Copies of this chain bind each other. A is one copy, B any other.
Amino acid sequence: MGIALVTMSILSLAAAVVSKGEHTTLTISVIMSIIAGLCTFTTLPKLKDTFIKANLSGRDLLKPSKPLLPETLGLPTAIIYLITLFLFIPFPFINWFEGAHVLGEILSAILAIQSMILLGFADDVLDVRWRYKVWFPAIAGIPLMIFYYTNKGVTYVVMPIQLRPYVGDLVDLGPLYYVYMAMLIIFCTHSINILAGINGIEAGQSLVIGLSVIANDLLYIFNNPDRSSVEAHLFSLYFIIPFVGVTSALLWHNWFPATLFVGDTYCYFAGMTLAVVGILGHFSKTLLLFFIPQIFNFLYSCPQLFRLVECPRHRMPRIDPDTGLLKCSTVRPNDKKPMGTLGNMALKLLRALGLLKVFQYDNDGRIIECNNLTLLNLVLAYLGPMSERNTTVAILIIQTIASLLAFFIRYKLVHLYKYVQESSYSQYTSKNSDTNDVKLSSTSNKYSDGGPTPRSYLDSTVVPTLLEGLKLLATERPSDPLAYLGRFLLSRSNERQQ
């Protein structure tokens, strides 16, 4: 690991020397991500014994031999990711004069991700109860929301066309927007952890979502004349490319038959990274489209999670010892006590929708045995029995289909309910790259009472010219700097008037 890190540092320094311009910064990010991936790939096997010795291990119950595997190998993966980001931070600033603002954004994002890694690791070691750890992501998300707050983050949401006659084009969610962010962070972080349990599924789904985010970012960057939109998506790329790098390496070792487990640390790390990228890249709604399988899995699980239907302690698929294939695990909802009305209704609805496989009815037509309510069991109920490897592949295919669907919705259907004036698009001042999302145009004061915030007002009126003037001033260093800058601004104002 030591040698790999030194190599990484030397190569990234070498990259720094030859770096000029923004596509080079992206190239550096790609190179560093590849190195991070290789580093993860070689480091993980070496750490197995250390983790087993430290009691961080578990049995792989879906194998006939139930081998003991090291757990929480998501921790070194996450640490390598963090070091990669640390070493990468200086690059985007080489050419950005107005760096402080963006640096704050990057640091708050890293801080949120690192907070979740710390809490995830604490959970792996200390086994925190659900009722406490469900709030972990909200705590870890504080730096992000604070950053949003201190930067007078816009809390306006563009309304669908159909609603505009009633509520206006833009609606200010105010404090509710922070609640939305917190909910998004909590959902994304836990959702990876919920769709879990077979080899390669946690890292696999994260990889598919990560690649979808990259595809979405690239679509924006190459089709957009708006500078601030490009920057928001570059920001997203700088975080997601190294994530894809280390995740690929982790997936290699965690793929069937797994030689290690990723641990809650990885699930939380992955979920938080994706949430952060979506929020600060301003495409949180598109991100939620990528999470369709996770959203389905959560909603589908609800009857059991909220105890409307009997919920066994483990709802993992079962292995058939004779064939070595996985089959869905089942629940007998009326065995311990008769199911309540709500539970009955939920199961009937699911059966009517074809989302429940019933294995046994009693004479009155009541359900005696059906599959447990998770996406994994549903897939196995209809397509199984299957090998563990094929089950993972099936889920990843579903995840990929969801991403394609997301792109279709995002780029084809969006115009049905939202309309963007392409001609005025480049006037949007903050990083409003997503037509689905928060935005505040320089002319938006007609939509709200107080007009734009001081920061966005200044950004849209004087800041670009001012930065140009300051650059000139720092180069020229005239005898009367104040007068020099004043005359520069006046001359620019005159040019515009003409």
Contacts and interface: CB of A to CB of B under 8 A. Distances in A.
A146 B117 CA distance: 21
Nearest to A471: B454
Interface string A93-122: 100000111011001101100110111011
Contact of A51 (B89, B119, B126): B126
A489 B492 CA distance: 14
Contacts of A93: 150
Contacts of A466: 466, 485
How many copies of this chain does the complex contain? Answer: 2
Contacts of A54: 125-127
Contacts of A79: 118-119, 122
B114 A115 contact: yes
A470 interface: yes
A31 interface: no
A149 interface: yes
Given A86-B146, A118-B121, A470 B458 contact: yes
Most buried by B among A118, A151, A477: A118
Contacts of A100: 100-101, 104, 151
Contacts of A489: 482-483, 485-486, 489
A139 interface: yes
Given A90-B150, A104-B103, A83 B142 contact: yes
Most buried by B among A2, A79, A150, A492: A150
Contacts of A53: 127
B118 A150 contact: no
Contacts of A151: 99-100
A482 B462 contact: yes
Interface of A: 1-2, 50-51, 53-56, 75, 79, 82-83, 86-87, 89-90, 93, 99-101, 103-104, 107-108, 110-111, 114-115, 117-119, 121-122, 125-127, 132, 139, 142-143, 146-147, 149-151, 451, 454, 457-458, 461-462, 465-466, 470-471, 473-474, 477, 480-483, 485-490, 492-494, 496-497
20 contacts: A54-B126, A55-B55, A56-B125, A75-B122, A79-B119, A83-B142, A90-B149, A99-B150, A100-B151, A103-B104, A103-B147, A104-B104, A104-B107, A114-B118, A458-B473, A458-B474, A462-B473, A480-B497, A483-B489, A486-B489
